[in-house]
Structure 1
Amino acid sequence: MSLMSALTLLAASFITIPSYNGVIHIGDSIVFISVVVLGRKKGAISSALGMFLFDILHGYTYWAPFTLIIKGIMALIAGYLWEKGESKSIIQGGVAFSMSGLFMILAYFLSGALIKLLFSGKAITFTQALIVSSYDIFGNVLQVVVGIIIAMPIIKGIEAYRKS
């Protein structure tokens, strides 16, 4: 679990592209790999801790508590859907990881609005906070899609190794 937390932190730190409220990174690929390698519970804990540490170490401290919860639940969803699928195919993995990614996108959208509302230092309405938070939706979609594209061949390799 510690190794997967460290890999999550490293992957998120490796390539970061600034977005409006945060960054886009490839750490989600390790979130998906973690739940396949460790199972949903241990994968969720390691993913949440790795991403939490990323936020703390890279100056996104406002986001850290949200990330801890969001990435943990994201991994639980991904792991649950992966474990319940029978085929373990690329399509089944893509669906499982996409569903967890949709949760992440919505959760970060709402969390971003809450952070803007509470910590912007300006008098803004919740609607205005939602509008500002919506600027990161495309980046979060891109992050999930790239995470799936990176994770699936690695997961298929792990699955093939386990069968041999």
Structure 2
Amino acid sequence: MNVNTNSKFHKTVFTALMIAIIFISANLIRIPTVGGFVHLGDCMVLLAAALLGKKRGALASGIGMALVDLYSGYIIWAPFTFIIKALMAYIAGAILEYNHRKSYLVPFLISGIFMVVAYFFSGAIIAFLFTGSSNTIIGALAYSAKDIIGNILQVGVGIVIALPLSKVLYKQEKKAFN
């Protein structure tokens, strides 16, 4: 097996492994909230971006977190989660790539802010179109606002845990695969 094939194989295996790690981490420890639950999945989404890069990190994050919604009975959220978590990882990975990994905090914060805003609007869409929680757009936005604090808490915990781990694991991953 040549080096390029071996490298592709390792990257594919590592991506599949991250999908499983993301799924397990979001299901392992759950703290119930009004609209769902807070979990450690966002930490793994950020680590996927740091370790796999923007494209593979996005793929692993989108699939892993959408599977969490499907498994947990939040089927209506799965397409939104797939897109939001994939973009969250892509944003973090792209900024990390752009700044040559000089800072992990800024990419993680920007992608975290994106996640909170995206879930706010997704919640409003679901409330307006699917659940009957509100029959006006303003009402749907107000209904969706209830989840903002939980989402901030969730991504905040994810950032706090991912920051120290990302630098260490990235260095170890580079040693292992290079």
Range into which the TM-score falls when normalised by the shorter chain = over 0.9
**RMSD value over aligned CA atoms?**
1.5
Q: By percentage of residues, which structure has more helix?
A: 2
**Distance change >3 Å, CA 123–CA 97, structure 1 → 2:** closer
Is 2:158 the counterpart of 1:142? no
CA contact (8 A) 2:134 2:143 kept: no
Unaligned residue ranges in structure 2 (runs of 5+):
1-14
Is 2:22 the counterpart of 1:8? yes
Unaligned residue ranges in structure 1 (runs of 5+):
none
How far the C-alpha of 1:159 sits from its partner, in A, is 3.5
Larger Rg over CA atoms: 2
Percent of residue pairs bearing the same amino acid type? 45
TM-score (norm 2): 0.85
Trace 1:153-164 onto structure 2 (pairs within 5 A): 153-161=164-172, 162=174
Is 2:30 the counterpart of 1:20? no
**Distance change >3 Å, CA 99–CA 109, structure 1 → 2:** same
> Where does structure 1 differ by over 6 angstroms across 4 or more consecutive aligned residues?
none
**Distance change >3 Å, CA 123–CA 35, structure 1 → 2:** closer
- Separation (CA, whole Å) in 2 of partners of 1:38 and 1:159: 9
How many aligned positions are there? 161
- Separation (CA, whole Å) in 2 of partners of 1:130 and 1:23: 19
What amino acid sits opposite 1:53 in the alignment?
L
TM-score (norm 1): 0.92
CA contact (8 A) 2:127 2:134 kept: no
Q: Secondary structure at the match of 1:18?
A: strand
